[in-house]
């Protein structure tokens, strides 16, 4: 039996299997049972975020020369090292009646809400929700996760410039540092039954809760946790 026809017939049975496992379509069911079964698998892989996202799925073709032995039951799976995201592959294996496994090329396009800059923003700028608007973005084309909720950007600092209309990557914002290189810092050393304090100079920028390196008055370089502009070292 030609590979495509065999898979089309077998995947009709997969729809009930995936539905019983809680997979829910993010849009109207596809007419093609192959596409519909794969779509359900994609939704399951996306998890709770699928409810806020739109999925466009293009299923490629197998080599027409491939022949498949009769199979009573098959199931789709995500091949090791693969992700149902962008241009990828989905595996289909026979679990009853034969032992074949094939891979279908698929193009998974995922669209969802993301924060985009309302105007050009410079690196180092402290931003707020009014600097952004929500637009639907093809998330699967982006090289890194995007910020979905502009309210989470309040008081954050940009680590790189963002052009007007450009989506904001999660790794492009940070909590502004409370200490900058060259700033004076109090150093407190706590050990078993004793506490020592002194002064030093910060060697890098850091925010509360982050590790900071500083140079003591004697010239020694130490590292500790920054809390309320105090560098805490525990021995």
Cα 22 from Cα 40, distance rounded (Å): 9
Among residues 162, 170, 171, 114, which one has the least CA distance to residue 138? 114
Domain boundaries, the chain: 3-110, 111-174, 184-234
Cα 80 from Cα 125, distance rounded (Å): 41
Asked whether residue 175 carries a pLDDT value surpassing 90, the answer given is no
CATH class of 184-234: mainly beta
Work out the end-to-end distance of the chain between its first and last CA atoms, rounded to an integer number of angstroms: 71
**What pLDDT is attached to residue 6?**
53
Percent of the chain predicted with pLDDT > 90: 44
Asked whether residue 52 carries a pLDDT value surpassing 80, the answer given is yes
- Predicted confidence (pLDDT) per residue in 60-119, tens digit: 887 777 787 888 888 888 888 888 899 999 988 888 888 888 888 999 999 999 999 999
**What pLDDT is attached to residue 125?**
94
**CATH architecture of structural domain 111-174:** Alpha-Beta Complex (3.90)
- Predicted confidence (pLDDT) per residue in 5-45, tens digit: 555 555 544 444 444 433 333 344 445 677 788 888 888 88
């Amino acid at each position: 039996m030609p590979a495509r026809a065999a898979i089309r017939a077998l995947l009709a049975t997969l729809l009930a299997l995936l539905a019983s496992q809680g997979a829910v379509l993010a849009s109207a069911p596809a007419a093609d049972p192959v596409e519909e079964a794969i779509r359900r698998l994609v939704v399951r892989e996306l998890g709770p975020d699928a409810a806020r996202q739109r999925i466009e799925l293009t299923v490629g073709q197998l080599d027409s020369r491939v022949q498949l032995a009769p199979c009573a039951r098959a199931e789709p799976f995500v091949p090791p090292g693969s992700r149902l995201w962008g241009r990828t592959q989905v595996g289909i294996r026979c679990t009853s009646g034969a032992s074949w496994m094939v891979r279908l090329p698929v193009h998974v396009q995922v669209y969802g809400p993301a924060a985009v800059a309302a105007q050009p923003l410079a690196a180092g700028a402290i931003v707020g929700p009014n600097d952004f608007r929500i637009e639907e973005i093809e998330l699967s084309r982006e090289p890194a996760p995007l910020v979905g909720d502009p309210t989470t950007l309040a008081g954050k600092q940009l680590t790189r410039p963002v052009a007007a209309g450009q989506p904001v990557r999660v790794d492009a914002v940070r909590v502004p540092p409370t200490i900058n290189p060259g700033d004076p810092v109090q150093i407190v050393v706590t050990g078993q039954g004793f506490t020592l304090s002194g002064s030093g100079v910060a060697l890098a920028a850091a925010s509360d809760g982050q590790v900071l390196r500083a140079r003591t008055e004697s010239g020694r370089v130490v590292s500790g946790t920054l809390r309320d502009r105090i560098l805490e070292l525990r021995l």
